[in-house]
Amino acid sequence: MTEASPVIRPEHPSARSLGALVEDSGVEVRGSVQGVHVTGVSLSSREVLPGDLYVALRGDRAHGAAYTEQARDAGAVAVVTDAQGAELAASAGLPILVVDDPRLALGDLSAWVYQTDEHRPALFGVTGTNGKTSTSYLLDGLLRQLGLTTGLSTTAERRAGDLVVEAKLTTPEAPELHALLARMRESEVRAAVIEVSSHALGRHRIDGLLFDVVGFTNLSHDHLDEYADMDEYFAVKLQLFHPDHAKRGVASLDTPWGARVLEESRIPVTTVALAESGASPDWTVTVLEERVDRTVFRLSGPEDRELVTSVPLLGRHMASNAGLAIVMLVEAGFDLDAIGQALGDDGIDAFLPGRIERVSGERGPALFVDFGHSPEAFRTTLEALRRFTEGGIVMVFSANGDRDHSKREAMGAIPAELADHLIVTDLNPRTEDPASIRAVLLDAARATAPGKPVEEIADPTAAIRRAVELAGPGDSILWAGPGHQEYREIGADKVPYSARSEARLALQDAGWEPA
C-alpha cells in the first residue's frame, strides 16, 4: 500500500503537555502554555496538522516565523523559534518557545513529542559517498530473511512495515524521521535501517537518535560545493561515529578514509574490506564468481568464522556493500551461522531500485540504469560491466545542475577511459544552462580519449534510443544518473520522467524484449 502523503506519521499519537516540557527544560516562553498539548512537530506551515508544534527556522530567503499565522490556521498549537522569529510570530497569538538555535533543538524536541526513545526498534545507520542506499537495502533484505519486520529510510523511499512513501530527501528532517520511527513502533517494526547523508549530519537531522550500529562505505569526490575540501567532508561524516549518535561502528577499508574512521572514531569500530584492497581488516570479502545477475563471495572473519553467499547484483563493490551489511548485523548481536542459514543457497534477497538495475531481457544488449552521479561511482560500475561484457560498452550520462562543479571534469574523463562509446545528455540541469554542463563533460571526454566516439544528444529519450541503436548482443549500455527517480529537475520544476520506462520502450521499439 502506498500513502499519498509524503510524510509518515503515527496513527495514534500521544498528546504531550507543553507545560511539562517547559518545566523540564527551562526554555523561555512568551504567552501561556497552560493546558496546551502537542501531538506532532512540523517544520513547514504547509504540512502542519492539528496539534502540531510549529518549529520556525531562519531560511535563506525568509524566516519560517513569517508563516506562523498559516501554521496556526492549519492547527498548530505553539511555536518554537529564535528571538527574531518570536517577534515575527507574535501576531499569530500562539504561545512561543524561544531558543537560541531551533534547528539544534529540533531532534530532541521531536524525540520528546514522539517518544522515540521508548520501545524503539534496533537502529542501523549507513553513511559514505557511494553505496549508502545499496547497503541499506541489503541490510533490510537480510533482516527480513532473518524473520524481522523492518522499517527503512533511503534516498528512494520511507517505509514502516508495509506502508511506503516516496522520499524527498536522502535523510528526512528530524520531525519526519522521529514521526516515521513512531509509526514503525505502531507497526511492530523490530529493526530499522536509515541512510545518513552528510547533510543530515551537518544539519542535525538525526539528533535525538542513538543507532545500535552504524556503517561507513567509502569517501570520494562529491559535495565539494558544500565543503571546503575532502577533510571537511570527512569530518562531517565522522560525526556519525560518536557516542551521541551510535554505540558501535563498522568501516570499510576499501578506501583510505575507512582507516581514518577507525583511527578517529569515538566508538568501537570493526573493519571489513575486499581481499584485493591490500588492507588488513577484521573481516575480508573475497569475490568467488561474478555474473551479470549475481556476485558470489566469501566473508571471512575472526575465530575462523566464514560465510559463503551471494548478492543479486553486479560488481565487486556490491559484494563489499553486502559484506559491510552482514558485519553490521554481527556487531548488533546476530550469529553468523544463523545469518547463513537464513540466506540458504539463494543468497541475499534484496531489490535495489535504480542501482545497476537491469531493464533488458535475455536477448540483445544488456541495459542498466544506475543512480551513480560521482566520478568514483562511474568508475566502479564501468569496471564491473567490463568484466563480463563480451562486446563494447555504450554509456549515456550527464551531470546535475546546481551541484558540485569541481567533479564534472572527472565525470567526463572516467567514461572516456572505460567505455567505448559515449553519449552526453541532460537530466537535471535545474537552474543552470544545460549546454554549459554538457560542454564541460564533452571537453573532458575528448581530451582524455581523442578519437573515441563521443556524441552530444541533449534530449535523454533520444540519447537512450541512440545508445540502443548502437548496441547489439554482447554489448552493454549504462545509463548513469537517473536511477530510481521518476522525474527530471528543470528550472524549479520537477517534470515527470522515468528513465527506466524510457529505456524499456527504446529496447522494445528496437525489437528487443525488455525485462
Query: By the 8 A CB rule, do 501 and 415 touch?
Result: no
Angle (CA) 200 87 72, round 5°: 70
Query: Cα-flanking dihedrals φ and ψ of residue 291, to 5°?
Result: -125, 170
pLDDT score, position 464: 98
With cell 567514461, the residue in question is: 415
The grid coordinates of residue 147 equal: 524473520
Beta bridge partners of residue 195, listed in sequence order: 126
pLDDT score, position 404: 86
Query: By the 8 A CB rule, do 474 and 340 touch?
Result: no
Beta bridge partners of residue 58, listed in sequence order: 63
Interstrand relation of 357-358 and 283-290 (parallel, antiparallel or unpaired): unpaired
Find out if CATH 3.30.70.260 is the number for domain 122-343. no
Q: What is the mean pLDDT of each run of 10 residues along the chain (515 residues)?
A: 62 95 91 96 95 95 96 98 97 97 95 91 96 96 97 93 84 93 96 95 94 96 78 95 98 97 98 96 97 94 97 94 98 98 96 90 95 89 93 97 92 97 97 97 97 97 98 97 91 94 97 94
Angle (CA) 202 79 108, round 5°: 40
Query: By the 8 A CB rule, do 57 and 122 touch?
Result: no
d(CA 508, CA 361): 10
Digit-coded pLDDT (tens) for 371-386: 888 898 899 999 999 9
pLDDT score, position 110: 96
Query: By the 8 A CB rule, do 316 and 384 touch?
Result: yes
d(CA 251, CA 259): 8
Strands (E), 387-443: 393-397, 421-424
What is the fold of 16-114? 3.40.1390
pLDDT score, position 223: 63
Helix axes 336-343, 316-331, angle to 10 degrees: 130
* pTM confidence score: 0.89
DSSP string, 185-238: HHTT--EEEEE--HHHHHTTTTTT--EEEEEE----S--TTTSSSHHHHHHHHH
For CA atoms 447, 451, 457, 461, give the dihedral sign: negative
Question: How many CB atoms are located within 10 Å of the residue 175 CB?
Answer: 26
Beta-sheet strand order (sheet of 52-55): 28-30, 96-98, 78-81, 52-55, 40-42
The grid coordinates of residue 277 equal: 584492497
The grid coordinates of residue 381 equal: 560500475
Question: Where exactly are the structural domains of the chain?
Answer: 16-114, 122-343, 357-509
Query: By the 8 A CB rule, do 89 and 154 touch?
Result: no
The grid coordinates of residue 127 equal: 553513511
Strands (E), 323-365: 357-358
pLDDT score, position 3: 38
Query: By the 8 A CB rule, do 456 and 463 touch?
Result: no
Query: Cα-flanking dihedrals φ and ψ of residue 297, to 5°?
Result: -145, 160
Mean model confidence pLDDT for the chain? 94
Of the candidates 60, 137, 109, the one whose C-alpha atom is nearest the C-alpha of residue 313 is 137
> Do the domains 122-343 and 357-509 sit in the same CATH topology, yes or no?
no
DSSP letter, residue 63 = B
Query: By the 8 A CB rule, do 110 and 174 touch?
Result: yes
CA atoms within 13 A on the CB side of 350: 34
Question: How many CB atoms are located within 10 Å of the residue 85 CB?
Answer: 24
Rg (CA), the chain: 24
Find out if CATH 3.30.300.30 is the number for domain 357-509. no
Digit-coded pLDDT (tens) for 54-72: 999 999 889 999 999 999 9
SS3 of 28, please? strand
Beta bridge partners of residue 394, listed in sequence order: 421, 477
